[in-house]
Amino acid sequence: MGKIKVLDPDTVSLVAAGEVVERPASVVKELVENALDAQARRITVRVEKDFGPITVVDNGCGIPADEVLLAFSRHATSKISTARDLENITTLGFRGEALPSIAAVSRLTMKTREPGAEEGMLVEIAGGEVLRKETVGAPPGTQVIVRDLFYNVPARRKFLSSWRAESSHIVDLLEHLALAWPEVSFSFWLAGREVFHTPGTGLLPAITAIYGAEVASTLLPLEAEEGELKIRGFLGRPELARGHRRHQVVVVNRRLVRHYGIAQAIAEAFGSLLPAGKHPFFVLFLELPPRLVDVNVHPQKTVVRFADEREVLALCREAVKRALFGERRPMVKTPPS
Ligand code: ADP
Ligand code: MG
């Protein structure tokens, strides 16, 4: 027997699952993104205490009964079909990895029904193994319950941070997702308590539901446009700046991303108005043609690369300066008299 072996499929799927499902928050993110891709108008998320069941319910398009198991196969997706599609991604998912990965490291139950279908389908999968598949009565849409996350990956379980740290991660994530999709109504329950409920009627109502009417009433609108690049959103005045970055939301083509360069550019635009060590409050939506941004950089899809990053950062600075200091000075300088 040589030293180098090809891993068996079960081990391969656990390794792959580890890339997508790093922690409980990643389960929440993937399931909510699937609900959003399914055009849900209403999404309810419940996370029970101490990594108890995570439940995500949506009223989206559901999965055809005869394709439910296919959805749990690795690299099975309804969202793209050829490599060319990678250049024009308009959905949040496209890798076909989330459901198989979550089901590989938990005990998962899915109930789903297409709005036009007579009945729904229920499947139960544990550690990647299908335990049950049967037709059931179900409301239109999809419900996924994830229990005993990492029950078969003791190493991962051990390194999970505390419930407090992890649940605050989930709160941040859902706040940001609900802000990124303000026309969808989100209801989020943590350990039996409703944390927030957005009405699904727009960005300012969503900000009000999450951060309160007082914060919402002081925000400045952000708006700028340059060629095919558009920015809109809200900016907090310097007094709303905090020592953490939890109130910094960047949404690129409907995708929640982390972009240090953008956060930096916005802080710079505040100049001396920003207290030292503080980070400004903003919810910023960037829209540009999909071909000018690459989201396929990392399995968790929170990193994006712009074809022209300099232009993006310049427009961010411009939008912030306009919000803080008023209209931009005319491009054509009047010659000194
Ligand atoms: P991806 O989102 O990258 O396509 P997933 O593993 O997350 O991969 O999901 C596989 C497929 O299952 C999706 O392409 C979609 O067709 C279907 N699916 C998953 N969740 C839902 C949902 N909540 N509603 C409708 N369809 C879903
Ligand atoms: Mg997905």
Q: Is residue 210 part of a domain?
A: no
Q: Is residue 55 part of a domain?
A: yes
Q: Specify burial of residue 239 (Cβ count, 10 A radius: 0-12, 13-18, 19+).
A: exposed
Closest residue (by CA) to atom 12 of ligand 1? Answer: 71
161, 179, 94, 30: CA torsion to nearest 10: 30
Q: Which protein residues are within 6 Å of ligand 1, measured from CB?
A: 30, 34-35, 37-38, 58, 60-63, 71, 76-79, 93-99, 142
pLDDT digits (tens, 9 = 90+) for 248-295: 999 999 889 989 999 999 999 999 999 999 999 999 999 999 888 887
Output 230 or 9, whichever has higher pLDDT: 230
Is the ipTM, as predicted for this complex, more than 0.95? yes
The count of domains in the chain is 2
Tell me: pLDDT of 93 over 60.
yes
Closest residue (by CA) to atom 8 of ligand 1? Answer: 96
Q: Is residue 213 part of a domain?
A: no
CB 94 within 8 A of CB 79: yes
Tell me: pLDDT of 59 over 90.
yes
Query: In Å, what is the CA distance from 90 to each residue of 36, 40, 85, 253, 291?
Result: 12, 16, 9, 8, 10
For residues 22 and 168, membership in a common domain is answered with yes
Ligand 2 geometric centre to CA of 31 (Å): 7
Domain harbouring 148, CATH code: 3.30.565.10
For residues 159 and 191, membership in a common domain is answered with yes
The pTM score is: 0.90
For residues 115 and 252, membership in a common domain is answered with no
Output 157 or 299, whichever has higher pLDDT: 157
Mean pLDDT for 102-124 is 97
pLDDT band at 187 (very low <50, low <70, confident <90, very high): very high
For residues 303 and 260, membership in a common domain is answered with yes
CB 185 within 8 A of CB 198: yes
Q: Is residue 17 part of a domain?
A: yes
Q: Is residue 165 part of a domain?
A: yes
For residues 60 and 136, membership in a common domain is answered with yes
Q: Which tokens hold the place of 322?
A: 């306009």
Tell me: pLDDT of 191 over 80.
yes
Residue written as token pair 């849409």: 141
For residues 159 and 228, membership in a common domain is answered with no
Q: What are phi and psi of 332, to 5 degrees?
A: -90, 115
Distance CA(43)–CA(56), nearest Å, equals 7
Closest residue (by CA) to atom 21 of ligand 1? Answer: 34
CA triplet 238, 242, 243: central angle to 5 degrees?
135
Mean pLDDT, all residues of the chain: 91
Tell me: pLDDT of 162 over 80.
yes
Ligand 1 geometric centre to CA of 205 (Å): 29
Closest CA to 251 of 296, 198, 307, 316: 316
Tell me: pLDDT of 297 over 70.
no
Please give the pLDDT value at position 299. 56
For ligand 1, mutation pick of 37, 56, 73, 145 (most atoms within 8 Å of CB):
37
For residues 45 and 177, membership in a common domain is answered with yes
Domain carrying residue 257: 218-325
Q: Produce one character per residue of 311-321: b if its CB has 16 or more CB atoms within 10 Å, e if not.
A: ebbebbbbbbb
Q: Produce one character per residue of 94-103: b if its CB has 16 or more CB atoms within 10 Å, e if not.
A: bebbbbbbbb
Q: Is residue 236 part of a domain?
A: yes
For residues 162 and 253, membership in a common domain is answered with no
Q: Is residue 204 part of a domain?
A: no
Residue written as token pair 């069941």: 53
Domain harbouring 250, CATH code: 3.30.230.10
For ligand 1, mutation pick of 21, 29, 34, 79 (most atoms within 8 Å of CB):
34
pLDDT digits (tens, 9 = 90+) for 163-178: 888 899 999 999 999 9
Q: Which tokens hold the place of 218?
A: 């002081």
Q: Is residue 300 part of a domain?
A: yes
Counting residues of the chain whose pLDDT is more than 70, the rounded percentage is 94
> What is the identity of the amino acid at 178?
A
For residues 32 and 125, membership in a common domain is answered with yes
For residues 150 and 33, membership in a common domain is answered with yes
